[in-house]
Structure 1
Amino acid sequence: MTILKVRHLTTYRYRRPVGFGEHRMMFRPRDSYDQRLLGSSLRIVPTPQSVRWVHDAFGNAVALARFDSAAEELSFESRIEVEHFPDPVDFQSEDYAKSYPFAYAEDEQPDLAPFIVRNYPDPAGELERWAQRFLRPGQDTPTGRLLMTLTTAIGESFVYNRRTETGTQDPLTTLRLGRGTCRDFALFMIEAVRALGFAARFVSGYLYVPTRDGPRRLGGGSTHAWCQVYIPGAGWVEFDPTNGIIGNRDLVRVAVARLPSQAVPLTGTFRGSPEDELGMSVEVQVTSEDGPGD
């Protein structure tokens, strides 16, 4: 067991005092058997008129802030502390799902269907052909090995780069450019495994980067993104194609969604002209404190 502490500071700056519309925050981690929320705080400057919490369609905790004052700077500082239990992945799936291809159980299909449907065009089948390269022609392929190979191949085949523009590039762009961010790689893997008939969803959260003697990690110092694939008997399993991580080690899960646009950590508007906006800065620090075994 490890205790992970996260400080996430986002600051917007403007040329003159501007008004603010509602801001939507997804900073609070999801409680589960493999991570337990020990504490959290949220500091917003200027102080909002109100802050209320809701659960979205996926059960994520969302904070909504409304403002009645103007300012030249708007900042959001979230601090969380979680008890983290690395969950070793041994792919103890149901017998019928140990090899690909397989069909999901009839009673699970209606719930999984939205996460199987592809959401981005692939008119020439480029993405599907890329994913099928990892199948054994004429033979069944071990499900765990297939997903692990796909995860590793993305990290080895594409070049990671940070991008200041908001949003996520579509999977075909990632395939053709051969580069992208963690969000791009997560979406690429989601659409690739969906092309094979798997249920997959997008995950937004944080990445703990160990000391310099630990494994190399990409995507630290900011929010991070990866994906989950549903395997009967094993459930939703974490796959981080950016770093080749299988399972939840070093990953703090905050939100899950069908699409990246549904799990943006912070969104909002301001009232003013485009020239008023000076930019945004994001600082994320994830630190570790080892605890006794559980």
Structure 2
Amino acid sequence: MPIFNVRHSTTYRYRRPVEFGEHRLLFRPRDSHDQLLLGAELATDPAPARSRWIHDVFGNCVAILGFDRPAPGLLFETRIRLDHTPRAELVFDTDRAALRYPFAYPADELPDLASTMRPHYPDDTVTRWALRFVRADGKTETGHLLMTLCYAIHESFAYARRNERGTQPPAQTLALRRGTCRDFALLMMECLRVLGFAARFVSGYVYVPGRDDVTIRGGGSTHAWCEVYLPGAGWIEFDPTNGIIGNRDLIRVAVARDPAQAIPLSGTYTGAAEDFLGMDVAVSVTTEPAVGVPAK
């Protein structure tokens, strides 16, 4: 059970002092049986004139900050510390009726899952590609379908960091065969939705054991993946960017129906477009040594 420490800083730079509107931050991880929040700190420069916390429609913790004086820059720095319990094995306790695809979700859960089952970016090319993972003889194992789709995106698509806001439509990611972690998460979600699965977007962080480990994608910034709901097993995490199934090295901060609802930091300023000079983002995720084990 490693202890993760996350430091996340975002700096906005402007040509002259500008006034700031309200800013919303999603940085506080979701407490659960597999990750326990031990501490969370938030610092800004300049300091906010007012702040408050809310739970959004998905139950995510959102900090809302207001500022009352102009400045040529705006810095947000968050630090979190949490106890993380990776799943020991990948045998999910799925209900017997859902071991084969297709299956039906329980009637009492359908109203709550409906918005995560509906395709949000309908496109025939995405539908045709998703159907490639379904056996023609009707003997598709649910677990095999999910793992094969996750690994197919991981192995067949090129990761390309993109700092611009927003997410590519799944059809564009499929055509380009490249994208960011949020693009791959959305593509997998949309494929699953056209097949009738409930899937949702997850925003958070990924732990990279060694910064020279180029096999782990998404380090040094926020990360994104998706969850799939299976009867009996609940929400299971799939990271198509890194081919991770389960919660290993993944720190959940927010879940949402669509990526636009899980932006880590958003806000406004009053000024001309040319006043904005740029944004710098830095994320580091480290672990504490286990008790009795000397730090290296």
Compute the TM-score of the two structures, normalised by the length of structure 1.
Answer: 0.96
CA distance in 1, matches of 2:215, 2:55: 35
Q: How does 1:79-228 map to 2 (within 5 A)?
A: 79-87=79-87, 88-122=89-123, 125-211=124-210, 216-228=215-227
Shift of 1:91: 2.0
Equivalent residues of 1:23, 1:268 under 8 A apart: yes
CA distance in 2, matches of 1:100, 1:291: 42
Moved more, 89-98 or 246-255: 89-98
What is the SS of the residue equivalent to 1:78?
Answer: strand
The alignment status of 1:238 with 2:237, answered yes or no, reads: yes
Percent identity, aligned pairs only, is 62
- Quote the residue 2:6 is aligned against: 6
- Quote the residue 1:41 is aligned against: 41
The alignment status of 1:286 with 2:254, answered yes or no, reads: no
CA distance in 1, matches of 2:288, 2:194: 40
- Quote the residue 1:265 is aligned against: 264
Which whole-Å deviations, capped at 9, do the CAs of 1:4-44 have from their partners, x for residues lacking one? Answer: 00000000000100000000000000000000000010001
Shift of 1:290: 4.4
- The alignment covers a number of residue pairs equal to 290
Q: How does 1:248-263 map to 2 (within 5 A)?
A: 248-263=247-262
Amino acid corresponding to residue 79 of structure 2 in structure 1: R
In structure 1, the gaps of 5 or more residues are none
Amino acid corresponding to residue 42 of structure 2 in structure 1: L
In structure 2, the gaps of 5 or more residues are 292-296
Shift of 1:141: 1.1
CA distance in 1, matches of 2:79, 2:140: 43
- Quote the residue 2:28 is aligned against: 28
Moved more, 20-29 or 212-221: 212-221
Which whole-Å deviations, capped at 9, do the CAs of 1:114-166 have from their partners, x for residues lacking one? Answer: 100011131xx211111111111122211111101100000111111011211
CA distance in 1, matches of 2:110, 2:214: 38
CA distance in 1, matches of 2:54, 2:285: 26
- Given the superposition, is the C-alpha separation of residues 141 and 119 from structure 1 closer, same or farther in structure 2, using an over 3 Å criterion? same
CA distance in 1, matches of 2:255, 2:113: 14
Equivalent residues of 1:101, 1:140 under 8 A apart: no
Which whole-Å deviations, capped at 9, do the CAs of 1:242-267 have from their partners, x for residues lacking one? Answer: 00000000000000000000000000
Amino acid corresponding to residue 183 of structure 1 in structure 2: R
Shift of 1:78: 0.2
CA distance in 2, matches of 1:290, 1:94: 38
Compute the TM-score of the two structures, normalised by the length of structure 2.
Answer: 0.96
- Given the superposition, is the C-alpha separation of residues 266 and 74 from structure 1 closer, same or farther in structure 2, using an over 3 Å criterion? same
Equivalent residues of 1:2, 1:288 under 8 A apart: yes
Shift of 1:65: 0.3
Amino acid corresponding to residue 148 of structure 1 in structure 2: M
- Quote the residue 1:54 is aligned against: 54
What is the SS of the residue equivalent to 1:168?
Answer: coil
What is the SS of the residue equivalent to 2:8?
Answer: strand
CA distance in 2, matches of 1:140, 1:291: 45
What is the SS of the residue equivalent to 1:90?
Answer: coil
What is the SS of the residue equivalent to 2:227?
Answer: strand
Moved more, 33-42 or 204-213: 204-213
Amino acid corresponding to residue 34 of structure 2 in structure 1: D
CA distance in 2, matches of 1:60, 1:268: 18
Equivalent residues of 1:135, 1:146 under 8 A apart: yes
Which whole-Å deviations, capped at 9, do the CAs of 1:157-208 have from their partners, x for residues lacking one? Answer: 1111011211001000001111100000000000000010000000000000
